[in-house]
Amino acid sequence: MQVAPSILSADFGHLARDVEAICEGGCDLVHVDVMDGHFVPNLTIGPVVVSAVAKAATKPLDIHLMVENNTFFVDLFAPLKPAFISFHIEEEKHPHRLIQKIRSLGIRPAIVLNPHTPPESIEFLLEDVDMVLLMSVNPGFGGQKFISSVVEKAQRLKSLIEKKNPKCLIEVDGGVSDQNIHLLKEAGVDVVVAGSFVYKHPKGIKTAIDALK
Ligand code: DX5
Ligand code: ZN
């Protein structure tokens, strides 16, 4: 299982330290939640802060856009050379065009589905993306309760992916812990995002990452 800790749960007063800690703790990706206060009722960080994150990180960035104007934000973050940029399908009229744009910038495109969005809705985009991110909470905040219907959704997505694009990864984001990780693994999930479980673990960041792996 690949682990992408969400820096939303980091101490923003010591952001570089907390980014270094997850990289040294063995994470695979650094998950960055970008929220615009419109698509979700919360605001987070822009390119100035994310460039400081990129400087501190020794692992690739996984940028999760929770915004209304995806194209504008892709242009804003592309110079930071993240490994992945993911955008919400619920907010995009021309997903195929946006996927091509992200790829043309040398970044791996990914699509995000909110908890209610069926995997079949992106069946004809699967061959064009490198990853699908399934939300297991309502996007906007860390520390929420895991929505367990994501397990069945991951299974359904996995069988579509096997038909359309077996190399496409499945990522799950929200409420992930050592209590539900085995269900996600069995369902075919490749990457988990975890914010509070990693940053607030009583035995520290490395123990938390090891437990998920
Ligand atoms: C929620 C974000 C998540 C969040 C995960 O909108 O996309 O990445 O930070 O945090 P936990 O693991 O605490 O649910
Ligand atoms: Zn996220």
213 residues of the chain, pLDDT tens digit each: 999 999 999 999 999 999 999 999 999 999 999 999 999 999 999 999 999 999 999 999 999 999 999 999 999 999 999 999 999 999 999 999 999 999 999 999 999 999 999 999 999 999 999 999 999 999 999 999 999 999 999 999 999 999 999 999 999 999 999 999 999 999 999 999 999 999 999 999 999 999 999
Q: What is the CATH number of the domain that holds 190?
A: 3.20.20.70
Provide the domain count of the chain.
1
In ligand 1, the atom with minimum distance to the C-alpha of 177 is: 12
Give, for ligand 1, the residue of 3, 138, 144 to mutate: max count of ligand atoms closer than 8 Å to Cβ: 144
Residue 61's alpha-carbon distances to 58, 91, 96, 99, 199, in angstroms, are 9, 22, 22, 17, 17
User: What pLDDT, in 10s, does the model give residues 103-120?
Assistant: 999 999 999 999 999 999
Q: Which domain holds residue 206?
A: 2-212
Of 153, 200, 197, 205, which Cα lies nearest the Cα of 27? Answer: 205
Of 160, 166, 162, 190, which Cα lies nearest the Cα of 176? Answer: 190
Model confidence pTM above 0.85: yes
- Amino acid letter for position 109: P
